Structure 1
């Protein structure tokens, strides 16, 4: 299922890939994740798993942005501020 390790961009990539039945290297930072098949239900499952692993981020952050790169930038900005 979803990783329970500390959240990194690469772990998020792996979780997204697993959810979409892809290999992690197939998920690029600038890929539009909804275009790859990441619907709102799958996104919610991912975010809940990441929150359980300790990520402090609002679901709206993920819903507002559509790429892993944008998510990671927003997470870094949120954690820095």
Structure 2
């Protein structure tokens, strides 16, 4: 029984990750922001191998941020010219 729920969660996280990658690619944001979001998605993907429920929570937060237009700052806008 527990295995079935674990498989469902894996499927859900995999589907959400696929959607998140698609959404990040389609965003009209500076390349530095897109790269930061892609790194977050890669970190979530890696963490799913060890902590699936934690990865699902992180992915939910990221998707909420995308929905609300909250993006990381462009690292290229800070620093010296």
TM-score w.r.t. length of structure 2:
0.29
Higher Rg: 2
